[in-house]
Amino acid sequence: MAVLITGGTKGIGLAVARRMAAQGEPLFLAYRADEAAAARAVAELGPQAHAIQADVGTPAGAQALIAQVARRTDRLDLIVHGAVTVLVGALLDMDGDALAKALTVNGASLVFLLQAARPLLKRGSSVVFLSSRGSRQVVPGYGAIGAGKALAESLMRYLVPELAPLGVRINAVAPGTLDTEAVRNLFGANTDALLASEAAGNPSGRNIDHDDYVGLVEFLAGPQAQMIQGQVIFVNGGQYVIA
């Protein structure tokens, strides 16, 4: 199973990469800037892992990424799109250009990526977008991320009638709050208190960990999920239940 994970060298993307690396197939990890993290990820995951620096927030950047992938494989069985620009603060106070870029990376880049990857998507391929509760529920300071992910979820639904006839499925997985670099960038010194509060208030008695959602991503890539299309699946132990 050839796999591409954008944002695959850190956090949630890296956790998914660890699960997929066990299959021994080509694994492509796209990252934007942190070369040290990319090197660590490749060293950990082994020779089948390839880190590719790319900016998927532009059509040209997405095309350049897929061109590098296509040098090593003629198909992608799974694309996990987790690239995110973390821009924190009140929307009315943000620099407009920075906000536009964040919304594009966090939302529209899903389409840029799939436009570029279309020749590598074959019958049975699966696309998983990594979303969050911020796409449906207001989280202070999270507007540039949450609104972008809401856009991507909407675009995902519009992509279903285009991808399904090709035998390609697309869904979103929204993990609950995890202790990741992105979360610490968002909440700063309040992160530990937030994590403790969320664990205390979770009906399941704890916060989620990586094992709680990576199996779901793997399932969505498998043949048993071939009729699951356009769904946003929340993995949060029952916290922030959304109809």
What CATH number corresponds to the domain at position 55? 3.40.50.720
Confidence of residue 102 (pLDDT cuts 50, 70, 90): very high
Residue 241 lies in a domain: no
Q: Average pLDDT of 164-174?
A: 98
Token pair of 64 as six digits: 């350049």
Domain that holds residue 218: 3-235
Closest to 15 (Cα-Cα) out of 121, 130, 125: 130
Would the pTM count as exceeding 0.95? no
Taking residues 173-181, report their average pLDDT. Answer: 86
Would residue 104 count as lying in a domain?
A: yes
Beta-bridge partners for 233: 173
Q: Specify if 220 maps to a domain.
A: yes
Taking only the tens place, the pLDDT of each residue in 24-40 is 889 999 999 999 999 99
The two three-digit tokens of residue 181, written as one number: 């670099």
Query: Rounded distance, CA 129 to CA 110, Å?
Result: 8
Q: Is residue 191 part of a domain?
A: yes
| CA 33-34-39 angle, 5° bins | 125
CA angle 27, 29, 35 (to 5 degrees): 135
Number of domains making up the chain: 1
**Distance, CA of 172 to CA of 169 (rounded, Å):** 10
> What's the average model confidence in pLDDT over 128-132?
97
- Whether residue 200 is contained in a domain is answered as yes
Other Cβ atoms within 10 Å of 141 Cβ, number: 16
